[in-house]
Structure 1
Amino acid sequence: MSAPYILVLYYSRHGATAEMARHIARGIELTGMEARLRTVPAVSSECEAVAPAVPEEGAVYATLEDLKNCAGLVLGSPTRFGNMAAPLKYFLDGTSGLWLTGELVGKPAGVFTSTASLHGGQETTLLSMLLPLLHHGMLVLGLPYSENALLETSGGGTPYGASHFAGADGKRRLDPHEITLCRTLGQRVAQTAIGLENVRG
């Protein structure tokens, strides 16, 4: 059996969400736990899958086995009209088999997002990703206000999860507060997974 890992599962169109995922993975790894980065293929209204079987660069595509065997999950998506992007929703819609068997029940989870505008639906997007996790019986973790970066940020950052203001052209880099909150979210999910594993021991 492989060592426990936290799955960082995301969809990224222009790279901002992928950059967040890498910072979240660094936070996970600070706890000594493995971070497994995975993405999902693009979809279209004409033919559903529109991506090659293997991505040309970046993280590989997630499988249901990646999700089933994780010790915890951090889920990320850019905002689409205040909601998660269709490719991530499409993947989650295919997890009913894991729901039926309760594979994710009791595992910790968090969420993250990136938007083009400062008030572009970050919190509603985070909430849209939390809903399927709650249906799966996962233990939802946010970011507490004891994190100074949450109080000081002038970009992204919410109590519901990490967020990033990418700008209208998508080129605004993550600022130090956003990076801190990404890493903190990764640490919180990993530390909770470690704590739960010790209790189950």
Structure 2
Amino acid sequence: MPTAVLVLYYSRHGATASMARQIARGVESVAGCEAWLRTVPEVSAIHDPLADDVPADGAPFVEQEELADCDGLMLGSPTRFGNMAAPLKHLLDSTSGHWLSGALAGKPAGVFTSTSSLHGGQETTLLSMMLPLLHHGMLISGIPYSESDLVRTQTGGTPYGASHLAGPDSQRALDEIESNLCRAQGQRIARLAQRLSA
């Protein structure tokens, strides 16, 4: 069976989804690996369900079983005041069963984010996403400086994980370096997942 890396994200304006697709390309560039591209629904203070069970377009919603069954995880969110967005946090808050069973312990994981401003909390958002993964016993990996694009980037990209500057209107597309770093991180987690699952 192929080594499966779950690329799980929340995206409001599409930038984080674009990053997720580049990360999935990186995962699938490693022979014997496949990417499971998944998203999460919006959350609301209103108790009646507002979203359909299946999104109208894009990646399907993640199932709890996919978290347990994957060999590695890439977790992505736009920045919300230097933190992950509520829909992703809501999902992570529902994983206590996986924590009790140790279902995620020992699996490799990485994180990625998109921000509207250059100093809008990229690194703190990445760190905030790492915290629950560490509690699950996951093995966190960022991007090493051996990736030459990490020292050339003028917008997104950190050693903590891939990042993207979407601009004040959230419409700036990923540039070549940001895309390269996304793919590099996907490859890295895929290779780690292969080695650890072997």
Q: TM-score, normalised by structure 2?
A: 0.97
Given residue 91 of structure 2, which amino acid in structure 1 is its aligned partner?
F
Q: Secondary structure at the match of 1:61?
A: coil
More contact order relative to length (CA 8 Å, sep ≥ 6):
2
Q: 2:18 — aligned with what?
A: 19
Letter in 2 for 1:122: Q
Any stretches of 5+ residues in structure 2 without a counterpart?
none
Partner of 2:3: 4
Question: What amino acid does structure 2 have at the position aligned with 1:22?
Answer: R
Alignment of 1:112-191 (within 5 A): 112-191=112-191
The 2-side partners of 1:108 and 1:157 are apart by 19
- The runs of 5 or more residues in structure 1 that have no matched partner are none
Secondary structure of the structure 2 residue equivalent to 1:43: coil
- Deviations, residues 128-163 of structure 1 (Å, cap 9, x unaligned): 100000000000000111111110001100010000
Is the Cα–Cα contact under 8 Å of residues 116 and 169 in structure 2 kept in the other structure? yes
Q: For each residue in 1:24-55, what CA deviation from the matched residue of structure 2 results, as whole angstroms up to 9, or x when unmatched?
A: 00000000200000000001223385321110
Q: 1:60-90, CA deviations, whole angstroms, 9 ceiling, x for partnerless residues?
A: 0001101000000000000000000000000
Q: SS at the partner of 1:60?
A: coil
Aligned positions, number? 197
- List structure 1 runs of 4+ shifted beyond 2 angstroms: 45-50
Q: Structure 1 vs Structure 2: percent identity of aligned residues? A: 64
Q: Take 1:4 and 1:194, find their aligned partners in 2: how far apart are those partners?
A: 6
Q: Give the counterpart letter for 2:24 in structure 1.
A: A
- Considering only aligned residues, what root-mean-square deviation do their CA atoms show, in Å? 1.1
How far apart, CA to CA, are the structure 2 residues paired with 1:48 and 1:181?
A: 40
* Aligned twin of 2:91: 91
Does the aligned pair in 1 maintain the 2:3–2:190 contact within 8 Å? no
Give TM-score scaled by structure 1 length.
0.95
CA distance in structure 2 between the partners assigned to 1:78 and 1:196 by the alignment: 29
